[in-house]
Amino acid sequence: MISTKLIPDDYNFNGVSLITGFHGIGSTGYLAIKHIIQTLNLNRVAILDHEHSPPLSSIKSGRIVTPFEIYKSQNLAFLRIEVPPLNNNENIFFREICELIISKRFKEVILIGGLDSVLKTDNTTFRYVKTESYTLPAFFNNSIQLENDRLIIGPVAQILNFMEIKNFPTFCILPYASATRIDPRAASEAIKLISQIFNFDIEIESLLTQAEKIELTEPAVENTSESKNPNIYT
Nearest Cα to Cα of residue 77 among 31, 14, 19:
19
- What is the DSSP code (8-state) at residue 107? S
pLDDT at residue 220, rounded to an integer? 61
Q: Given this model, what pLDDT does residue 227 score?
A: 41
Q: Give this prediction's pTM.
A: 0.90
Query: What would the CATH number be for the domain defined by 9-217?
Result: 3.40.50.10900
pLDDT of the residue at 88: 72
Dist CA 177 CA 28 (whole Å)? 7
Question: What is residue 87's predicted lDDT score, i.e. its pLDDT?
Answer: 64
177, 114 Cβ separation under 8 angstroms? yes
Closest CA to 160 of 177, 151, 172: 172
Q: Summarize the chain as % helix, strand, coil (round to 5).
A: 30, 25, 45
Burial class (CB in 10 A: 0-12, 13-18, 19+), 88: exposed
Tell me which residue of 16, 19, 30 sits closest to 67, measured CA to CA: 30
The residue ranges of the chain whose pLDDT is under 70 are 1-2, 87, 219-234
